[in-house]
Amino acid sequence: MFRKPPSNIKSYSPLRSSDRRRFKEEILKKFPLLESSLKNLIETTDTTNSKLESPSNIIVPENTQLAKFTSNLGIHGVIYTTKEKQPIWFKKDKDKNEILVPSVYILWKFPDMLPKIPTFDIVISKLTGGANLMIPGIAFPPGGLPEVNEDELVSIVVRGSDIPVAVGTMNISTKLLHPGSTRKGVAVNIIHIFGDCLWSMGDQSNPPGFADAVTSQDEASGSKDADIFEEMDEDIEVESLKNEFDSKLTISEVDKLLEDSFYQALLEKLTPTAPLPMPTSQFYSAYILPCRPVGTENEVDIKKSSYKKVTKFLNAMEKKGIIKIKGSREDSILTHVDWKHDSLNSFRPHKTIKKATASTATDEGHPSIQIKKVFKPKGAAIDLFRAQGQNVETNTVYEAEEIKSIVLDYLKSHNLSDKQDPKFIIPDEQIREVLINKSGGRVPDKWVRNDLVKEITSKMEDYHYVILPNHDPELRKGLPKSIQIVESTRTGNKIVTNIRGLENYGINPNDLIEPLQRLCASSVSVNPTPQSSPKKPLMEVMVQGPQIKLIKKYLIDTKGFPEKYIETVKKKGKK
């Protein structure tokens, strides 16, 4: 987030005493581990020395100042600093949900305030270069990782040290991460790390004892990278960690494999029957990337190619005459494929990542079902999007971030900011047409940007993509449906647990009978759901006893179903 200096930093203003008190309360509420650290610090502080700073004032010192900022990625927030401009806290505005984050300077004073994820010292240089922490880069401690859910804050430490060097959010629950797993991908999304531009705003000191910890670790192991890898748990493949960070392929080889993945995606996944147009971002992520050759997932990446950007790569394919693209670079649409092109006819298919992982996904506990919410413009919103150069067709849908980008570009290009107070937007006729309610309610004359984007998004139709193993992405109308796990008490205090909605995601209820019998040590049956249609009955799995936790874990770990779309209910009384 702070790889580049924040832009548009407003002038600093002092934090009032009342606001400072409330801010302290907010911090202690959001970081419960900090309270015990404060107590320990108070006990060790020499209270007879009046020059020592009160430990409770360290988290929010007197004369704390704050300033609004915008990151180079367009993320808005607020920085809190000491009077010497040492950054201590910042708030990251994510879709209007503020995330309070400590700076490394605060973390060094209170290293135990966040759960710690250890990594290897050779990985730190990659993180400071702007990379996220990948799963193979985790140095699993003997006692296992702390229990942290997806999107929760964690600190990053070097193995052998307790001093945090970075802070970020978990991209995946630590419950799903185990030594020896071949699971790959991002483990922690790095928000802030020592050495970045936020750290540079302060005194630019290094983590306490960081160099000593790394040096002693090297001396103990006796060498550099290879020895560090030897100390990893035996079940972790050394090569998988190296491949996350170092490409063995030349740029021309990456280009060739990327083009092969493109051809394979057209012939195997898109096919002549697929509906077009399609956003090129969707085509790249959902079609091309899964079609990379087996074993190249960590090396074949657009950033490691000569193209550097997806739009440039697809434009090169368009120049060859294989495809046609319309729209701007950021919002281009794939509109046509020449299925008779020589390059496609002469291409020899390869075994893809998707095919290789699909057969082992269930056994290894890899997530195999993906659900992505999208929105379809309708009515006046279509005109608004077309005014921004969008080629809105029957099947055109957008993710929330794409909608936000398009709307903000429209506001900027039409200069709709309030001249007296730029944080507000004054809608023009095009925007007002989108905002008009069917009931005829009055449209406000001024809007906060994020509120306006949210309101425009609410005027669109809800859709979602479901990506099942060995299936192409399926676009479905409406909001995603949850799988329900319902625990109820029947006559005689008999408890049963029912699972409903499995068919929506290609899960055969009968396939769950045997594994749930073993897992729950209980009887399992499959029956039609209440009020189910006799012609097309929907089935539910019934397990004897209170089994919500075991069933939920089974659906997440074994079936790879997103936890977000599992609904648990406890009922009392008759079914």
Strand segments (E) across 258-410? 278-279, 323-326, 333-337, 370-376
Structure tokens at 412: 């900027």
DSSP 480-493: PPPEEEEEEEETTT
Long-range contacts of 295-299 (CB under 8 A, 24+ apart): 296/249, 296/257, 296/353, 297/184, 297/353, 298/184, 298/240, 298/243, 298/244, 298/247, 299/243, 299/247, 299/248, 299/249, 299/254, 299/257
Fold for domain 251-356? Arc Repressor Mutant, subunit A (1.10.10)
What pLDDT digit, counting tens, does each position of 360-417 carry? 333 344 446 888 899 999 999 999 998 888 888 877 888 888 899 889 989 988 999 9
Any alpha helices (H) in 7-141, and if so which ranges? 17-30, 32-44, 55-59, 104-109, 121-128
Q: What is the pLDDT of residue 52?
A: 43
Strands, sheet with 483-490, edge to edge from the N-terminal-most edge strand: 524-528, 539-544, 494-500, 483-490, 566-571
Range 483-571 has CATH code 3.40.50.10860: no
pTM: 0.41
pLDDT of residue 366: 46
Give SS3 for 39.
helix
Fold agreement (13-211, 483-571): no
For 280-314, how does the pLDDT look when each residue is reduced to its tens digit (9 = 90+)? 877 887 788 888 887 776 678 888 889 988 888 99
Residue 533 CA to residue 505 CA, distance in Å, equals: 19
Q: What is the Cα Rg of the chain in Å? A: 27
> Looking at domain 374-387+394-463, what is its CATH homologous superfamily?
SWIB/MDM2 domain (1.10.245.10)
Q: Residue 84: its pLDDT value, please? A: 86
Residue 248, pLDDT score: 57
Q: For the chain, how far is it from start to end, CA to CA, in angstroms?
A: 51
DSSP per position, 431-463: HHHHH--TT-PPPPS-EEHHHHHHHHHHTSEEE
pLDDT tier at 240 (50, 70, 90 boundaries)? very low
Please give the CATH topology (third level) of the domain spanning 13-211.
Sulfate adenylyltransferase (3.10.400)
Q: What is the mean pLDDT of the chain?
A: 80
Instruction: Report the alpha-carbon distance of residue 537 to residue 175 in Å, rounded.
Output: 35
Element (H, E) at 571: strand 566-571
Q: Where are the domains of the chain?
A: 13-211, 251-356, 374-387+394-463, 483-571
Query: Confidence class of residue 319 from pLDDT cuts 50, 70 and 90?
Result: very high
Q: What is the 3-state secondary structure (H, E, C) of 323-346?
A: EEEECCCCCCEEEEECCCCHHHHC
